[in-house]
């Protein structure tokens, strides 16, 4: 329809200046006739430039930034409002093609804002999606609160149960999601990501641990990711990624996970970066790599855009200590 419309307008423009003697203005002086044709041409060009916007293909997204929303859901299991932050991609459509979801968990002494305010993941997503390197995706960053910092594994009042039976259904009701999910986390959040994904591998396509805290002695074997790596069924269907900096204090448990998966022949990647400690600055430097891993199942890989996130140390150095094993050693040292 649009092609027929533009052709018609262009033809009318030609007719305006066509020298047909029967037209009353044909006998105007040449100078006036030229000016008239010039003005008419400008009007036609203006129409051609302005009107296509109204007929533009609605499937083409012109937005360059996604939307961050903070929302809550009520946990029946602990009788408490729980908070999460969600990233919706540019031109989010609640009625079009549903979106895959990445669930990302924070560290033990952080909250649902860590991935955005400290690591700049929303900036990386905006650049990756608008450049075509990443597909449109929904990213959910839940706040685990006190329940995620306790070693509760039995009964309903556990972080894994709240995540699986209360948070995930909430997200899939409120937002336009499909059944493709990835799960990852930082430090304590990395522990929970592997705890959940290794017990329910059919729910996820990938699991990632970024400086995840694994310890062979602080969790029951049935829920300890190190034990699950040895025996949990069907975890070979997951794509698995581990990473840490060379100076990360949690290196021992991550090495144990790598060894357990290797002994069992489970495909995975384990990246030890030459620089980096157990801190936000390290994770912020690799957030694009994390996204590329999670999204690999859903897009043909392209060159990733260069993302520079300004990391604000706020004049302090944060120590990430396992909150349950050393509950009294959560601290921030002023520099």
pLDDT digits (tens, 9 = 90+) for 233-275: 999 999 999 999 999 999 999 999 999 999 999 999 999 999 9
The helix/strand/coil state of 47 is helix
Task: Please state, rounded to an integer, the average pLDDT across all residues of the chain.
Answer: 82
Q: What is the pLDDT of residue 335?
A: 26
Flag whether pLDDT at 212 surpasses 90. yes
Angle between helices 30-50 and 2-16 (to 10 degrees): 170
- Report which of residues 118 and 309 the model is more confident about: 118
Q: Which of 25-34, 65-74, 193-202 shows the lowest per-residue confidence on average (mean pLDDT)?
A: 25-34
Q: Which of 116-125, 171-180, 320-329 shows the lowest per-residue confidence on average (mean pLDDT)?
A: 320-329
Spatial contact of 86 and 270, defined as CB atoms under 8 Å apart: no
In DSSP notation, 279-312 reads: SHHHHHHTHHHHHHHHHGGGS---PPPP------
CA dist 216 and 158 (Å) reads 20
Residue entry with tokens 């059919």: 202
Instruction: Kindly state the helix (H) or strand (E) to which residue 231 belongs, with its residue range.
Output: helix 225-231
| pLDDT-based confidence at residue 34 (cuts at 50, 70, 90) | low
Other CB atoms within 10 A of residue 327 CB = 11
| pLDDT-based confidence at residue 324 (cuts at 50, 70, 90) | very low
Q: What is the pLDDT of residue 54?
A: 44
Spatial contact of 251 and 244, defined as CB atoms under 8 Å apart: yes
CA dist 110 and 114 (Å) reads 6
pLDDT per position as a tens digit, 95-111: 889 999 999 999 999 99
Q: What is the pLDDT of residue 119?
A: 98
Spatial contact of 330 and 321, defined as CB atoms under 8 Å apart: yes
| pLDDT-based confidence at residue 217 (cuts at 50, 70, 90) | confident
Q: Per residue in 232-242, is it b (16+ CB within 10 Å) or e — as a string?
A: beebeebbbbb
Question: Any idea where the domains of the chain sit in the sequence?
Answer: 2-55, 67-334
The class level of CATH for 67-334 reads alpha beta
CA atoms within 13 A of residue 54's CA, in its CB half-sphere: 8
Angle between helices 287-295 and 121-131 (to 10 degrees): 50
């Amino acid at each position: 329809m649009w092609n027929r419309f533009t052709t018609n307008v262009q033809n009318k423009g030609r007719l305006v200046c066509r020298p047909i003697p029967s037209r009353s203005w044909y006998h105007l002086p040449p100078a006036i006739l030229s000016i008239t044709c010039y003005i008419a041409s400008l009007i036609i060009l203006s129409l051609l430039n302005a009107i296509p916007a109204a007929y533009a293909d609605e499937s083409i997204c012109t937005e360059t930034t996604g939307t961050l929303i903070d929302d809550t859901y009520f946990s029946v299991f602990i009788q408490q409002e729980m908070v999460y932050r969600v990233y919706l991609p540019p031109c989010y459509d609640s009625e079009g093609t549903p979106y895959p979801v990445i669930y990302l968990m924070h560290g033990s002494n952080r909250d649902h804002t860590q991935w955005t305010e400290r690591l700049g993941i929303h900036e990386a997503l905006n650049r990756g999606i608008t450049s075509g390197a990443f597909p449109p995706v929904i990213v959910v960053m839940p706040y685990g609160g006190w329940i995620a910092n306790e070693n509760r594994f039995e009964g309903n009042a556990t972080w894994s149960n709240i995540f699986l039976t209360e948070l995930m259904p909430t997200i899939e009701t409120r937002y336009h999601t499909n059944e493709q999910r990835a799960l990852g986390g930082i430090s304590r959040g990395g522990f929970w990501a592997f705890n959940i994904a290794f017990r329910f591998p059919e729910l996820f396509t990938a699991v990632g641990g970024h400086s995840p805290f694994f310890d062979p002695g602080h969790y029951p074997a049935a829920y300890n990711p190190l034990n699950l790596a040895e025996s949990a069924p069907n975890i070979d269907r997951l794509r698995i990624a581990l990473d840490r900096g060379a100076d990360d204090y949690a290196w021992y448990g991550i090495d144990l996970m790598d060894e357990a998966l290797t002994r069992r022949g489970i495909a995975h990647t384990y990246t030890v970066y030459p620089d980096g400690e157990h801190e936000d600055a390290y994770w912020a430097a690799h957030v694009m790599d994390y996204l590329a891993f999670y999204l690999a199942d859903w897009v043909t890989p392209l060159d990733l855009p260069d993302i520079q996130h300004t990391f604000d140390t706020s004049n302090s150095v944060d120590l990430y200590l396992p909150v349950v094993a050393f509950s009294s050693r959560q601290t921030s040292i002023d520099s």
